[in-house]
A = this chain, B = another copy of it.
Amino acid sequence: MFLEKIKSPGLAHLSYIIGANGLAAVIDPRRDVEIYEEIAAANNVRINCVFETHRNEDLVSGASLLADRTGANVYHGPNAAGEVRYAETVRDGQEMQLGDLRLKVMETPGHTDDSISIAVYDDASGKDAVAVFTGDALFIGDVGRTDFYPERAEEVAGLLYDSLQYMLGLGDQTILLPAHGAGSVCGSGMADREFSTLGHERQNNPRLQIADRDGFIKAKVAEHHYQPPYFRLMEQLNLSGTEPMHPEPVALNVEDIKSLGDQIARVDVRSAEAYAAAHLPDSLCVPEDMIPAFAGWLIEPEQRLVLIAENADQAWQAARHLGRIGFDNIEGYLVGIMDWVTAGEPFGSVDFLDTASVEQRLKQQSIDWQLLDVRGLEEVEAQPMQHALHIYVGELPAKLKELDIDKAYTVMCGSGQRAAIAASILERSGYKNVNVYLGSMAAWEQQKSVA
């Protein structure tokens, strides 16, 4: 009876394969499904069922692909808003038997109406659950967000409370296997720790310390979460099933890039530092490891793209990240910017400011300069930055009209990485005088603590 966790970095998505006696189940597969087949083969098992704990809004499900390739059945909870075409609906109490391994469906709505959890039993060892796949209902250190049905906010928060109580009934000894880890857009309070049990969470998860249902609902309704626009696209895709990814874009040269013309978005997936030093004009800066969190805010679903990457590995990894959230139209990639620059083509740069420079500008209080804070609302509330204008980086494209194009801007965030993304948005939109506070809130706080 083996269990493997597959992490998709950036999305902080966790999927699982669990098997026994020659059979295996996959829980919440991602779109690039080869890895499940490889693990199955290494363990001499056949994948015969695939579970979706809910209709994912933040990534393309690979369930339909995996079913096609292996002959497995896909199981999905009830109450999906529309028919999940490739899946069979399962109900509370239904069980799948894989030798001694028994997987039991629990309806645990709240995060979404169709959320299920799957309790894991070992029939060769006792009657109580050994583990539970909780999807987006319960995380390590947090619980699922409940903001997807704004008109039913209190109702669904209450549903989640009930689901959590139901789940905790499995007992303290139950290993917790959630669909996301720290860094996911599906919850902001997740612990950095990657392993836990229901017992540990019962005693320590902040949301599970709220004793009464009403208090829980109140706390959940008061939360603020961002919803990237691509969430709606994902929900549609995850009703119909998807095509295989081909995440191996081809190398392009300078002439190729130029001949592709203006309709092709240039996405610079190198580090923020490399982007800042020199970049192709009108590039969008989205460092490879930030693609899962930000590409869905900044790129239109059908937009054709070229990537600027340090090397082929980075480009292919970026394409893989993009494919997992449904962006497939990648024309190719350019390796670095040196061919571009040495061909005599123009390039852009963004300066990095340090804390001393930002302090000095703040003191000058020029009306031609603005400090722009692109952090999330929760961060701003926790650590406000005086004199800064706040617009979340994801919402910046939609809120540009709030920013006077003739002003100078210094962009900040938690560290400077998201600020570089924001600076690239401004540059593409014609803002001429933009720089980035490298270190941002983290360095600012260090400065204060030293002073």
Binds B, one of A107-115, A152-160, A223-231, A331-339: A331-339
How many residues in A have their beta carbons less than 8 Å from beta carbons of B? 94
Counting CB contacts under 8 A, is A169 at the interface? no
Complex: chain B residue closest to A439, CB-CB: B341
Counting CB contacts under 8 A, is A351 at the interface? yes
Which residues of A, 313-348, contact B by the 8 Å Cβ criterion?
313, 315-316, 332, 335-338, 341-344, 346-347
Chain B neighbourhood of A332, CB < 8 A: 46
Is A128 touching B194 in the complex (CB atoms < 8 A)?
no
Chain B neighbourhood of A195, CB < 8 A: 1, 3, 130-131, 175
Question: A69-B246, A126-B200, A355-B344 in contact; A194/B1 too (CB < 8 A)?
Answer: yes
Instruction: Say how far A79's CB is from chain B's closest CB, in angstroms.
Output: 31
Counting CB contacts under 8 A, is A22 at the interface? yes
Instruction: Say how far A3's CB is from chain B's closest CB, in angstroms.
Output: 5
Partner of A256, one of B46, B274, B278: B46
Residues of A within 8 A of B (CB): 1-3, 20-22, 34, 37-38, 40-42, 44-47, 69-71, 100, 122, 124-126, 128, 130-131, 141, 171-175, 191-200, 202-204, 246, 248, 250-253, 256, 270-274, 276-278, 310-313, 315-316, 332, 335-338, 341-344, 346-347, 349, 351-352, 354-355, 415-417, 438-440, 442-443, 446-447, 450
Q: List 27 A-B contacts (CB under 8 A).
A: A1-B193, A2-B194, A3-B195, A22-B251, A40-B251, A44-B311, A46-B251, A69-B248, A70-B250, A124-B193, A130-B193, A171-B172, A172-B173, A175-B197, A271-B336, A273-B273, A273-B277, A274-B274, A277-B352, A341-B438, A341-B442, A342-B439, A344-B446, A344-B450, A346-B354, A347-B438, A349-B351
